[in-house]
Amino acid sequence: MGKFYQALEKSKNQKDKEMPSDVLKSSVSSTTDLLVVKHPDFSATEYFRFLRSKIIHPAHGKPPRTIMVTSALRGDGKTFVAANLAACIALGMNEHVLLLDCDLRAPSLCKFFGIDEKREGLSSYLTDRSDIAGLLCKTDVSKLTLLPGGKSINNPAELLSSEKMQHLISEVRNRYPDRFVILDTSPLELTSETSVLINQVDGALMVVQYGKTPRKLAKSAIEQIGKKKLLGIVFNGYEKPMRKYMHYGYGYGYGYGKDEKMRR
């Protein structure tokens, strides 16, 4: 794991001109799909700032350092939320973020950062095909490092429930007190590996597509996460402030105004 931390330190402390060529090649060239970067004045961006505040400064206890972002079904917006939340936290004063693409069946975080979607990533590390130091991507968002999912694989449940994955999450959580780790995972109601990862993280955010996600499936996914691990529910496309969602805790809604038409 030594090379992994050396790579993280380079991402955290060195300027681009000081980075070795292999790291520079993985540097992000575009953040056009990141709402919080491209449209800082949108009302939806303000919701992400509100969510960041709730995570970094919780009403009780310490802030969660490892945060899973998931949903009941595909198309609910979990990857959009994971990418923008990670960027929003990293844009803060002191916080660093490591963003992990753990949706190994359909990894898609790269597109938000202008990275080649065919590049190697977490799947290569877990199958011992690549050293993790060469897989990390420095992004144009200050203090944000991305570990892509890599090529789609046939046995994600086995890899993500492996001892190697558990050790990775534990190490990145405990090594640096100023780093948040965001995991974009596969939908809870469609796959089995996400329920395993719940036990490895400090908390989870549930993304619901307002008016689309079936209530029964959303409730089932929330129950799988459990009250102790559920940090909140993010309502994708909801244009009014959210106070409470059932009895599970806080809900956070975001949507777009008349002049804020964006792909969700």
Residue 18 confidence (pLDDT): 37
Query: Mean pLDDT over residues 92-101, rounded?
Result: 93
pLDDT(133) > 90: no
Mean pLDDT value across the chain? 80
pLDDT(8) > 90: no
Residue 7 confidence (pLDDT): 53
Q: What is the pLDDT of residues 45-59, one digit of tens each?
A: 999 999 999 999 998
pLDDT(17) > 60: no
Band of pLDDT at residue 252, cut at 50, 70 and 90: low
Query: Mean pLDDT over residues 116-128, rounded?
Result: 89
Band of pLDDT at residue 83, cut at 50, 70 and 90: very high
Most confident of 107-111, 170-174, 188-192: 107-111
Residue 48 confidence (pLDDT): 93
Contact (Cβ atoms closer than 8 angstroms) between residue 144 and residue 36? no
Q: What is the model's pTM?
A: 0.81
Band of pLDDT at residue 86, cut at 50, 70 and 90: very high
Query: Mean pLDDT over residues 120-145, rounded?
Result: 90
pLDDT(245) > 90: no
pLDDT(82) > 50: yes
pLDDT(5) > 50: no
